[in-house]
């Protein structure tokens, strides 16, 4: 069971690294919560190529920056929080939940196949191959997520402009 715990720790550390650049983001502004939400709504209405797009629901929002074809862009899942004298915009970049689920399911299938084949053949080679396939898969996902870093920076710039009262 110790091996399984170590493998899970390794999996979590590698999957966290697939989140390129910045994961969490927070900015404080003197604008009111209503003003921030209105500006976020305006930001998501634009449909020009290369612009930030998304949706706003109550005090939560999802933003997605422009990304090259074939990349795995991460969405910014955020919320607007009213504090005593200011408003905080916070959130994190994450792969789409369906993509996260599919990657986890595929990883488990590959790992279970490697373990069961290794036990049935009484040979460690299938397990080694399964681990190598997982490492290769994680490296590919990390590279594809990294290709969308410019879109994440566009989202961050838009949020900073919004917090500073500038129109982006």
Query: The whole model's pTM is what?
Result: 0.72
Q: Is residue 63's pLDDT more than 70? A: yes
For 164, other C-beta atoms within 10 Å of its C-beta total 12
Q: How many helices (H) and strands (E) does the chain have?
A: 5, 5
What pLDDT band is residue 19 in, cutting at 50, 70 and 90? very low
**39: exposed, middle or buried (Cβ count in 10 Å: 0-12, 13-18, 19+):** buried
Both tokens of residue 37? Answer: 């939400």
* Tokens 């919004």 sit on residue: 162
The closest of 65, 50, 78 to 154, measured between CA atoms, is 65
């Amino acid at each position: 069971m110790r091996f399984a715990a170590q493998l899970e720790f390794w999996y979590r550390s590698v999957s966290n690294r697939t989140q390129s650049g910045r994961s969490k983001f927070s900015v404080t502004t003197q604008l009111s919560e209503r003003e921030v939400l209105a500006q976020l709504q305006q930001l998501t209405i634009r449909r020009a190529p290369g612009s930030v797009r998304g949706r706003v629901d109550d005090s939560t929002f999802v933003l997605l920056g422009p990304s090259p074809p074939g990349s795995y862009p991460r969405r910014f899942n955020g919320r607007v929080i009213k504090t005593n004298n200011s408003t905080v915009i916070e959130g994190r970049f994450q792969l789409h939940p369906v993509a996260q689920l599919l990657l986890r399911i595929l990883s488990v299938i590959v790992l279970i196949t490697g373990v069961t084949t290794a036990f049935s053949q009484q040979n460690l080679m299938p397990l080694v191959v399964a681990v190598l396939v997982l490492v290769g898969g994680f490296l590919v996902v990390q590279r594809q997520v990294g290709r969308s870093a410019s879109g994440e920076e566009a989202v961050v710039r838009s949020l900073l402009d919004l917090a500073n009262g500038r129109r982006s």
